[in-house]
Amino acid sequence: MVSPLRKAAAFVVTAVALVALFLVAVNAGSLQVTPEQLFNGLFVAYDDTVSTIYDLRFPRIFIAMVGGAATAVSGVLLQAAIRNPLADPGIIGISSGASLAAVLVTGFFPALLFFTPVFAFVGGLIAFLLVYSLSWRGGLSPLRIILVGVAVSTMFTGIMSAFSSSGGATSSSVTSLVDANITMKTWDDFQTIAIYGAIGLVIALLVTKRCDLLALEDKTARSLGVDVNKNRMFISAVAVLLASVSTAIIGPISFLGLIVPHIARLLVGTSHKVLVPYSVVLGAFCLLLADTVGRTIAAPYEISAAVIMSIVGGPVFILLLRKARSSYGE
């Protein structure tokens, strides 16, 4: 049982770290400003350097934060809905299905760019339903759903790679989605992810009690009057929406939706009333950190946040599992 003081401390420390990281990310590059100069340039008087940073760096910073929050909360909801601590949008194929749909729409119907998250949601939902149906054998086996998810994810990734290799990825937008690169993102991209992401996050905050009920045994939940299957599918749909929104703008990010929920549970406990909002802050911090590290570690070249998360994600997750030594839901 995590004490209220520890929960509050986790929120405060992570929020302060996110603000500090934001200032570091703003100055990651050849142009740099002091916090005072940044404030004055944004709210007091026009400043050329601040204006350039505002146009070039602010969109990717805010997109990384919103995308990180959406992906992290998606992982929390998926792990609650299917009661599987290894559930992640990337592992069970949701991100690949959403990414394939987003790439096809971006490549063939660029006029519908604002609605890309909607098509990505459809692609992610198809992938999830495919994995769910193929994994169901009188129940959901944690191992079976992971194996089927990996197979479905590989299939969709292969189709997307074939499309990219055959010349379909002629635009920078398609290439950035395939590579999960947010270098050239604009304020229009932020507007899109912010609108759809806000809808998904608000719904996620409203279903926290349902997530706690799904942590119980199905028989216990049904005895309390809970329609387990209906709630499981609805929460899964919200998770798919959040993962698809992030994937549609950023591209597929591995391990973020897997690691953040585990770290969050260690810090604030398993109550989704606290876990979901904290995952918003921690997810934003983690993806922005990955993007900032990728921008600076090999400057002037850049490594995408997806690559950084892939490198760090696996070992960190293994260490978390060994340290926790507890089953999901405790």
Print the domain residue range for 62: 4-324
Percent of the chain with pLDDT over 90: 51
Task: Say what the pLDDT of residue 70 is.
Answer: 97
Considering the domain boundaries, does residue 149 fall inside one? yes
**Predicted TM-score of the model (pTM):** 0.90
Report the CATH number that the domain containing residue 35 is assigned in CATH. 1.10.3470.10
Whether pLDDT at 90 is above 60? yes
Considering the domain boundaries, does residue 330 fall inside one? no
**Cα–Cα distances in angstroms (integers) from residue 61 to residues 15, 151, 189, in the given order:** 15, 33, 12
Confidence band (pLDDT; 50, 70, 90) for 299?
Answer: confident
Task: Check the CA dihedral 280-281-284-286 and report its sign.
Answer: negative
Considering the domain boundaries, does residue 9 fall inside one? yes
* Of the candidate ranges 181-185, 220-224, 264-268, 326-330, the one whose mean pLDDT is the lowest: 326-330
Whether pLDDT at 327 is above 50? no
Considering the domain boundaries, does residue 142 fall inside one? yes
Task: Say what the pLDDT of residue 330 is.
Answer: 42
The identity of residue 266, as a single letter, is: L
Considering the domain boundaries, does residue 266 fall inside one? yes
Considering the domain boundaries, does residue 329 fall inside one? no
Confidence band (pLDDT; 50, 70, 90) for 170?
Answer: low
**Neighbour-count burial for 249-272, b at 16+ CB within 10 Å, e otherwise:** bbbbbbbbbbbbbbbbbebbbbbb
pLDDT, average across residues 91-119: 87
* Of the candidate ranges 60-64, 201-205, 216-220, the one whose mean pLDDT is the lowest: 216-220
**Of 173 and 43, which is predicted with more confidence?**
43
Return the H-helix or E-strand segment holding 226. Answer: none
Residue 99 structure tokens: 């990414």
**How many domains would you assign to the chain?**
1
